[in-house]
Homo-oligomer: A and B are copies of this chain.
Amino acid sequence: MKEKKRIVILGGGFGGVYAAKYLEKALGRKDDFEIILINKENYFVFQPMLAEVISGALGILDPVNPIRHLLRKTQLHVREIEGIDIENRTVTVSPGFRPHAHKVPFDHLVLAMGNVTDFRGMRGLPEHAIPFKNLADALYLRNHVIRALEEAAIEQDDLELRKQLLTFVVAGGGFSGVEVVAELNDFVRGVARKYRGLDPSEIRVVLLHSQDRILPEVSEKLAVFAQKILQKRGVELRLHTRLEAATGQEAILADGERIPTRTLVSTVPSSPHPLIETLDLPKGKNGRLIANSFLEVEGAPNIWALGDCAQVPAPDGGSSPPTAQHAIRQAKVLANNIVTSIRGGERQTFGFKGLGKMGSLGHRSAVADIFGINVSGILAWWMWRTIYLMKMPGWGRRLKVAASWTLDMFLPAELVELKLNRSMSLAQEHFEPGEEVFQQGDLGDRIYIIINGQAEAVREEEGCKTLLARIGPGEYFGEMALLRKTTRSATVRCTAPMDTLSLPRREFSLLTAYLPDLRKSLVEVMEKRTHDNQQRLKKAEGQ
C-alpha cells in the first residue's frame, strides 16, 4: 500500500479555499492524499462584499462563510502560521490554549497567504491608519465611525475636535479605496440626520489619490463616471495627492497640508505576507513568489504558490493580476497538477485571461468592464449584485445576502456600535511637531514613554508660560497625574516627530502595585522632576 500524501495549504482566501475545493473533488472516494488547510480565521471572506459591511447594507457575517461549510474533506487548523521550513518539510503554527509548539509536516505545500497591508516605514501610519483588508478591519472601521458620530453629537464646545471627528479620509483610489469611500460616504450622510446636534453639512469625506484619475484598473471613461458620481454625493476628490504621514489627529499630505481627522483609512500599500519574505525561494516584483505556469514555485519541487502572494505568468506576457477570478482559475490548475504528481498524468498550464472588472460605487451605482464593454450606473450595479451573488460560494450564505439586501431597501441604516475592545492596553502613537499629547488640566489617563523624537512640557500660570522640561528618547512623562491622582500639571507638546508607547491608568496601577522596583524608580524620577520644576518656576517668577 502506498503511503498517504499530505497536502498542506496555507491561507484561506480565494486561492487556498478553491485549491482545497478542487483537491477534494479530485480525491473523490479515494484516500491516497489528505488535505490540511491552515488559516488564522475559521471563515473565508468574500472580499468584493466587504465594503458593504460599513454601511450596514450587509449584516456583519454576511460576507464571510465558515470554511467548514465549504470544505467537507479538508482538515482545518485555525492557527497563525509562525514558520515554514522548506528543507525539513514542516510548518510551525502558533500555540493554542496551551503553550506547546505545533508542527505540521507536509509532502506538498501550497502557499496561498495573499497579501497584507504594509504600513512599515510610513510615519505614523502603523499607529493611526486603519487598513481595510479583512472582516476585523471592516468591523473596526464601522464601529470607529459610529463612535466618532456619537462623540461629535455630544461635543458642542471643542470645535477643533468636532472637525476632526466629522472628517473621514480614505487614501488610495483603486477599486478597494473607491468602494470604501463610497460606502462610508453613503453611511455617514445617511445616518447623520438621526443625530440631534449634527448638521450634515459639517461632514467631510475625502478621497486621496496619487494619480490624475481614480480606478487605474478600468478605462478613463468609467473612471470619470465614477468620479462624477462620488463628487455628486459629496466626496471630496483630491487627485495628484499623496498621503505622507499620519497622527492620531491629522492626515499629512506630501505637500505639507494637514487634514484634521480622526478617521484615516488606507487601502495602500500591500505586500505579501511577512513569512514569504523569510523564505529562501525565488521572488519577483513586490516580493511575490515566482511560480511557473504549472503554479509550482520556480526550482522548488512540490512547493506551489497562487493568488496575491504569487507572480504567475499571464498567457499574453506579464504576470497574472491579483484578482479573485484569477486565483480561482489558478487553484484549479494547481490542484490538477498536485494530483498529477501523486497519481501520474499530464500537467496543465495556467492560461486564463480575465473576464472583466467591476467596482461598486455604493447606492445603486457601479462601473463594469465586461469582455471590454463598459457599463456604468444602475445597470452596472445590478450586474455587480447579480454576478457577485452567484459567485459567492455556498447557497446558505447567498440566501442571507439576498435577504439582507432586500431588507436594506426599506429599513433604516444600522447604527449599532459593537465595542470590540481592540486591545488598547499598551498603545503606540505618533505625534508631529506642534501637536499636544495632553493639556494642563486634562484627566490623567495614561503614562507615556518616548521611543524617539522630542517634546516639551509647559506650565501656564496666570497667563505666564514656563518651559518645565524638554524630553527625549527613553524618557517618560505623565506619571505625576497617575501617581498623585490629579489632573495634568503641564501641557506636553511634540517638538520633533515623536513615537510613544503608553500604558493606561489601570495597567499602570497594577504593575506599580506588584512590581515595587518599578514604582520606586518612577517615584524617584517624579520627585526629582517636581523639585526641578519648583526651581524653574521660582526662577521664572523672579524674572
Query: A68 to nearest B CB, angstroms?
Result: 5
Are A411 and B419 in contact, with the CB atoms below 8 A? Answer: no
Are A442 and B64 in contact, with the CB atoms below 8 A? Answer: no
Q: How far is the CA of A65 from the CA of B415 in the complex (A)?
A: 9
A271 at the interface (CB under 8 A from B): no
Are B442 and A151 in contact, with the CB atoms below 8 A? Answer: no
A201 at the interface (CB under 8 A from B): no
Q: Give A residues with C-beta under 8 Å from B.
A: 41-43, 59-61, 64-66, 68-69, 73, 75-79, 95-102, 135-136, 139, 146-148, 150-151, 153-155, 158, 161, 164-165, 194-197, 262, 396, 399-400, 403, 407, 411-412, 414-426, 438, 442-445, 449, 451, 474, 476, 501, 503, 506-507, 510-511, 514-518, 521
Given A59-B59, A59-B61, A501-B510: A78 in contact with B411 (beta carbons within 8 A): no
Are A518 and B518 in contact, with the CB atoms below 8 A? Answer: yes
Q: How far is the CA of A336 from the CA of B475 in the complex (A)?
A: 59
Query: A222 to nearest B CB, angstroms?
Result: 34
Query: A362 to nearest B CB, angstroms?
Result: 21
When all copies of this chain in the complex are counted, the total is: 2
Query: A6 to nearest B CB, angstroms?
Result: 14
Are A400 and B396 in contact, with the CB atoms below 8 A? Answer: no
Are B195 and A68 in contact, with the CB atoms below 8 A? Answer: yes
Q: How far is the CA of A150 from the CA of B99 in the complex (A)?
A: 16
Name the 5 nearest CB pairs between A and B, nearest first: A425-B425, A517-B521, A99-B443, A396-B411, A99-B442
Residue from the set A73, A396, A438 with the largest chain B CB neighbour count within 10 Å: A396
Are B517 and A75 in contact, with the CB atoms below 8 A? Answer: no
Q: Select from chain B the residue with minimum beta-carbon distance to A422.
A: B421
List chain B residues, Cβ under 8 A from A415.
42, 66, 68-69
Are B95 and A445 in contact, with the CB atoms below 8 A? Answer: yes
Are B411 and A61 in contact, with the CB atoms below 8 A? Answer: no
Are A411 and B400 in contact, with the CB atoms below 8 A? Answer: yes
Q: How far is the CA of A79 from the CA of B147 in the complex (A)?
A: 10
Q: How far is the CA of A400 from the CA of B400 in the complex (A)?
A: 11
List chain B residues, Cβ under 8 A from A102.
154
List chain B residues, Cβ under 8 A from A68.
194-195, 415
Query: A452 to nearest B CB, angstroms?
Result: 10
Q: How far is the CA of A450 from the CA of B5 in the complex (A)?
A: 48
Are A507 and B100 in contact, with the CB atoms below 8 A? Answer: no
List chain B residues, Cβ under 8 A from A501.
510-511, 514
Using A61-B418, A97-B165, A501-B510 as known contacts, list a sample of 15 further A-B pairs with CB atoms less than 8 Å apart, ordered by residue number in A.
A42-B150, A42-B415, A73-B196, A75-B153, A79-B154, A95-B443, A95-B445, A97-B262, A98-B158, A98-B442, A99-B445, A101-B443, A400-B407, A400-B411, A421-B421
Are B516 and A518 in contact, with the CB atoms below 8 A? Answer: no
Given A196-B75, A396-B412, A424-B423: A146 in contact with B42 (beta carbons within 8 A): yes
Q: How far is the CA of A61 from the CA of B415 in the complex (A)?
A: 10
Given A60-B61, A61-B60, A154-B79: A416 in contact with B518 (beta carbons within 8 A): no
Q: How far is the CA of A207 from the CA of B148 in the complex (A)?
A: 42
